[in-house]
C-alpha cells in the first residue's frame, strides 16, 4: 500500500467565514480491551476405544481424526472472528446514520440547528489502522451548512470505508476535546482527513468548493484516503 499524499484545493474559500472557539483541554483518548475466550481441543480421555479388533481400532482412529478436524475448524473460525473484532468495534464507534438537519439556511447565518444529525455524534475516537474524517462546525453558520450538505451527499458512498467524527463546536463532548485541541485552528468549517497510517493528509478551514452542491473536491479528498 502506498502512503497517501497530502491533498490541496488551492486557497480556502473564505466566504463569510466565522471564527470558532479553541479548546485547550486535552483528555486522553479512550481505548477498548478485547477479551479472548479460552478454547481447548478435546482431551485424549474424551475418546474411548473398545479394543475389539483392527476394524474397531481403525474406526476409533477415524473418529478421533474427524473430531480433531472439527475442533481445528472451530478454532480457525474463532481466531478469524477475534481478528475481525477490532474492525467491527471501531466501525460501531464511528458517527453513523448521518443526515442533514431540517430547516437550514445556505445563504445566511439564521439556522439555529447544527447541520448534521445522526447516531453517536459525541464519539471522539481516532482509531488506528482506519481512515478517519473529522468535521468541525457550528449552528448559525451557512458555510458550515453548505459543507455539511456536501458531506452528507457523499456519506452513503463512504460510510463503510471511512471512520467519521462529527464535532459541534458549541457542544463539544468530553471524548472530542483532544481532537479539538489538536486539529481545530479557529475557523469553520474545518475538515481533517487522516489516513490509515495516522498521517494527516488534509486539515484546512473553509468550504471545499465555491458553489453550493459541488462535491467534486470533497469526493476527491475522500477517495484519496486509504
Convert the pLDDT of each residue in 52-67 to its tens digit.
555 555 566 566 666 6
Size (the chain), residues: 226
6 belongs to a structural domain: no
Does the pLDDT value for residue 137 go beyond 90?
yes
Q: How confident is the model at residue 101 (pLDDT cuts 50, 70, 90)?
A: very high
Are 197 and 149 within 8 A, CB to CB? no
How confident is the prediction for the chain on average, in pLDDT? Answer: 75
How far is Cα 185 from Cα 143, in angstroms, rounded to an integer? 16
Task: Tell me 29's DSSP state.
Answer: P
Counted domains in the chain:
2
Pairing of strands 96-100, 116-119: antiparallel
Q: Where do the H-state alpha helices sit in 130-195?
A: 142-158, 177-183
Q: Domain containing 71: what range? A: 44-88
Q: Are residues 104 and 214 in the same domain?
A: yes
Candidates 186, 226, 178; CA nearest to 203 is 186
Q: Which residue has better confidence, 22 or 154?
A: 154
13 belongs to a structural domain: no
Task: Tell me 35's DSSP state.
Answer: P
pLDDT at residue 110, rounded to an integer: 96
Q: Are residues 78 and 110 in the same domain?
A: no
How far is Cα 7 from Cα 94, in angstroms, rounded to an integer? 23
pLDDT at residue 219, rounded to an integer: 98
How far is Cα 126 from Cα 180, in angstroms, rounded to an integer? 12
Convert the pLDDT of each residue in 140-171 to its tens digit.
999 999 999 999 999 999 999 999 999 999 99
Q: Whole-prediction pTM value?
A: 0.62
Q: Are residues 56 and 145 in the same domain?
A: no
SS3 140: coil
Amino acid at each position: 500500500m502506498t502512503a497517501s499524499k497530502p491533498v490541496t484545493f488551492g486557497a480556502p474559500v473564505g466566504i463569510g467565514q466565522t471564527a470558532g472557539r479553541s479548546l485547550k483541554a486535552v483528555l486522553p483518548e479512550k481505548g477498548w480491551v478485547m477479551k479472548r475466550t479460552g478454547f481447548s481441543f478435546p482431551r485424549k480421555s474424551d475418546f474411548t476405544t473398545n479394543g475389539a479388533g483392527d476394524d474397531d481400532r481403525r474406526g476409533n482412529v477415524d473418529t478421533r481424526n474427524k473430531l480433531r478436524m472439527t475442533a481445528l475448524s472451530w478454532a480457525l473460525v474463532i481466531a478469524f472472528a477475534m481478528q475481525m473484532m477490532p474492525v467491527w468495534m471501531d466501525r460501531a464507534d464511528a458517527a453513523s446514520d448521518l443526515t442533514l438537519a431540517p430547516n437550514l439556511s445556505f445563504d445566511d447565518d439564521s439556522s439555529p440547528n447544527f447541520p448534521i444529525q445522526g447516531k453517536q455524534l459525541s464519539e471522539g475516537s481516532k482509531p488506528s489502522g482506519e481512515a478517519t474524517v473529522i468535521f468541525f462546525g457550528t449552528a448559525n453558520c451557512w458555510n458550515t451548512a453548505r459543507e455539511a450538505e456536501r458531506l452528507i451527499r457523499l456519506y452513503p458512498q463512504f460510510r463503510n470505508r471511512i471512520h467519521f467524527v462529527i464535532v459541534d463546536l458549541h457542544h463539544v463532548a468530553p471524548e472530542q476535546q483532544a481532537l479539538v485541541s489538536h486539529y481545530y485552528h479557529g475557523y469553520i468549517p474545518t475538515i481533517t482527513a487522516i489516513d490509515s497510517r495516522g498521517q494527516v493528509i488534509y486539515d484546512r478551514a473553509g468550504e471545499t468548493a465555491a458553489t453550493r452542491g459541488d462535491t467534486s473536491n470533497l469526493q476527491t479528498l475522500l477517495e484519496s484516503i486509504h
